[in-house]
Amino acid sequence: MISREAPAPRSIGFGRVLLAVILGTLITFGIMFLLGLGFFGAAMAGSGPDPVESRSVLRLDFNYPIPEQSRSGLPSVINPLAIDFRPATGLDAIRAGLREAAEDDKIDGILLDLGINPNGQAVLGTLRELLIEFKDSGKFVWAYGQYGGQRAYDLATVADSIFLHPTGGVELKGYSAETTFFKEGLERLGVEVQVFYDGKFKSATEPFRRTDMSPENRLQVRSFLNEVWGQYKQRVAMNRNMPVDSVQAIADRLDGMQPVLALRHGLVDAIAYQDEVYDRLRRKVGREPDEDLPLVSMDRYLSYKGLPKANKPKRSGNVAVLYAEGNIIDGEGDDGQIGGASTARLIREARKDEDVDAVVLRISSPGGSAPASDVIWREAMRLAEEKTLVVSMGNYAASGGYFIAAPADWIMAEPGTLTGSIGVFLLLPNLRALREEHLGVYTDTVKTGAQADFPSINRPVSETQRVLLQAMVDSTYMDFKRKVSMGRGMSMDAVEAVAQGRIWTGTQALDNGLVDQLGGLDEAIAVAAERARLGEDYGVLHRPEYEPSPLEEILVSMSEESRIQAEVPGMIGLAHAAEFYGASAIWNEWSGIWGPLQEHPVVQARMPFVLDY
């Protein structure tokens, strides 16, 4: 009886899997069929009327995480039914689009959506500079929304006029950092996290070994929060023509959350409904009250203009811009990650490319796997021996992100960039008590030697293993410092003074010698061309090169029109909202730490936490 009945559950499971596969295949083919019809219809339609009319207004919605380089918006294998299929328009494309629009006679101005802008300080800084350039061309920039998050408002202060919905508000409150400590809670569940680290400021392990911030961690957090908040207040005070002390007082009272007080204190210029703002816009661009107001999204404008242009090397010399964005992981990596193998290959190809005379490595990363960082470092060092290498830091270039920056001839950061964090750690959980005392689950092991099952999450490490793991961490930390010393021309004592896992802003890093100059990507490209003696006429090659497929162009046209006509300003897609509120970020961050333990412990060179400020 047992032998005949045992296979039954397997047949049921197989049937369910088979059904799921069939349904998934049918859904996929159905989606592709519908998209194919859309593509065929678009092709049959031929060249329609000019999609950008004269006296148009470019509507900018930056309420999504803007990557350094544009990414595909096609459904992934993991989530084929993703809610938002629009390609993630990157900073590279936005830069090209805004500069083209500044010279385009058909674009009279910009309407900037407020909302919840989830982007970091470096991205916001670049967007601010681009909007200022646009205004300098003689065109206007207005901002409007129902709600202005603190970062969205930071960007909006560049505008000539800011309009707020009657039931809206402006978030102006200051910055804070909150850490959750799991040590006692995990212990009550029977989970012991075995911690190995170097650097008294390397606080990534504190949630698993403390119940509060260490004095060192509190010091560094207070230091960089005060720095970036001071920069924020200065910008608001300058752009809104008010004293810095007034900005702090408004923030302390949360006056911006009430529209009347936001207007009274000069945070906004008028309170109005969307139709009222649109009426003002019509008058601004010289259209009649009953005329349509041609609002053009950035995605549509880029598609119309064919931007950014394809890379075309120049004989007079070229600077290649290589993008390294996301967590650093071993192997190839995925979209939005820095794969050790794939990024090393990208750098190696630039070194061997005869059309490339200088390289700018644009880094926006909180770090990750130390071995993967070392793989990338090696190729960056070899490149720097043969060609000019300049590093441009984005929102983050910390820990592993700084590791791969160290070989550069010249390092540039934004004032609000978070960098440094020269330190490493390793975590190994022990789940024995959880399994046995709380769940009644036991394991038994047969092995051929004392270390055959190492590492294991089912038992505590032995003293021999503890010494080994700490030695791995110590060795990696020493190697990290040695490579910083070699790359920056600093003594080991000088490196130790700014290391210990401590995080620095770009401004602080300039003062302590970890970076050479403050500036963005454009300045870094100019510096690379100058150091390589390329003169004024040089090409810029972006690698890897991204070009939207015809299918993505259709997705843009299908989704963009409905999105831009939304009656509630500042709305964002559910997928972007989830990213903003941290669920995806937290998962990505910690899966990078725990995942490698399935096979071997990996020393981590990453920032202590994902900052949201």
Q: What is the domain-level CATH number for residue 71?
A: 3.90.226.10
E-state strands within 204-244: none
Pairing label, strands 517-518, 410-413: parallel
Does any domain span residue 365? Answer: yes
Percentage of the chain lying above the pLDDT 70 cut: 79
Q: Is the dihedral of CA 10, 11, 16, 18 positive or negative?
A: positive
E-assigned strands of 245-316?
A: 270-271, 295-297
Query: Cβ contacts of residue 244 below 8 Å, gap of 6+?
Result: 233, 234, 237
- Shared domain check, 467 and 426: yes
Q: 475 and 556: one domain?
A: no
Q: State the angle between helix axes of 8-45 and 550-564 in degrees (0 to 180), rounded to the nearest 10.
A: 80
Q: Please state, in angstroms and rounded to a whole number, the distance separating the CA atoms of residues 355 and 505.
A: 35
Write out the two tokens for 92: 């590279």
- For 23, the token pair is 């349904």
Output phi, psi for 423, to 5 deg: -175, 165
Phi/psi at 144 (5° precision): -150, 145
- If asked whether residues 444 and 553 sit together in one domain, one would say no
Q: Quick one: 386 and 514 in the same domain?
A: yes
Catalytic residue positions?
202, 399
Q: Is 392 inside a domain boundary?
A: yes
Residues of the chain with pLDDT > 90: what percent?
A: 65
Q: Among 523, 543, 563, give the residue marking a domain's end.
A: 543
Half-sphere exposure of 111 (CA within 13 A, CB side): 26
| CA-to-CA separations, 306 to 49, 288, 291, 300, 319, in angstroms, rounded | 16, 31, 28, 10, 22
Are the beta carbons of 328 and 372 closer than 8 angstroms?
yes
Q: Give the bridge partners for 275, in sequence order.
A: none
Closest CA to 110 of 298, 303, 304, 307: 298
Calculated CA dihedral for residues 307, 78, 122, 424, nearest 10 degrees: -140
d(CA 143, CA 164): 8
Among residues 82, 70, 31, the alpha carbon closest in space to that of 574 is found at 82
Q: What one-character-per-residue DSSP string does 404-455 give?
A: TTTT-SEEEE-TT-EEE---EEEEEEE-HHIIIIII--------SSTTTT-S
Peptide bond into 550 cis (omega under 30): no
DSSP code string of 573-584:
-HHHHHHHTTHH
295 vs 561: CA distance, rounded Å:
10
Asked if 325 and 284 sit in the same domain, the reply is no
Residues 444, 568, single domain; the answer is no
pTM of the model: 0.82
The pLDDT assigned to 152 comes to 96
Q: Return contacts of 333-337, CB within 8 angstroms, 24+ apart.
A: 335/71, 335/72, 335/76, 336/67, 336/71
List for the chain the helix, strand, coil content (%; round to 5).
45, 20, 35
CB atoms within 10 A of CB 518: 17
Task: Count CB-CB contacts under 10 A for residue 382.
Answer: 16
Count of positions (residues) in the chain:
613
CA proximity to 145, closest of 571, 580, 573: 571
Does 192 map to a domain? no
Instruction: Give a yes or no: residue 71 inside a domain.
Output: yes
**CA angle 215–178–181, rounded 5-degree value:** 75
Are residues 436 and 560 part of one domain?
Answer: no
Residue 38 lies in a domain: no
pLDDT of residue 72: 56
**Does 377 fall in a domain?**
yes
Please give the pLDDT value at position 269. 98
Strand pairing category for 338-339 and 328-329: parallel
Quick one: 165 and 284 in the same domain? Answer: yes
Confidence at residue 312, expressed as pLDDT on a 0 to 100 scale = 85
Q: How far apart are CA 483 and CA 84, in angstroms?
A: 42
pLDDT of residue 385: 97
Residues 298 and 335 in one domain: no
- Identify whether the C-beta of residue 405 lies closer than 8 Å to the C-beta of residue 397: yes
Signed CA dihedral, 99, 102, 104, 108: sign only: positive
Is 189 inside any structural domain? Answer: no
- The tokens describing 431, both together, are 């789940």
269 vs 598: CA distance, rounded Å: 57
CA atoms within 13 Å, Cβ hemisphere of 454:
15
User: Residue 544: what pLDDT?
Assistant: 82
248, 259: one domain: no
- Give every residue of the chain whose pLDDT is below 50, as ranges: 1-14, 17-18, 37-49, 73-85, 555-598
Give residue-wise pLDDT tens across range 376-399. 999 999 999 999 999 999 999 999
pLDDT for 592: 46
Determine how many CB atoms are found less than 10 A away from the CB of residue 395: 24
Number of structural domains (the chain) is: 3
Residue 587 lies in a domain: no
HSE of 424 in the Cβ direction (CA atoms, 13 Å)? 28
- Positive/negative CA dihedral, 440, 441, 444, 445: negative
Shared-domain flag, residues 249 and 366? no
Residues 446 and 329 placed together within one structural domain of the fold: yes
Give, in degrees to the nearest 5, the angle at Cα 88 between 336 and 323: 45
| Residue range(s) defining the domain that contains residue 520 | 318-543
Q: What is the DSSP letter of 88?
A: B
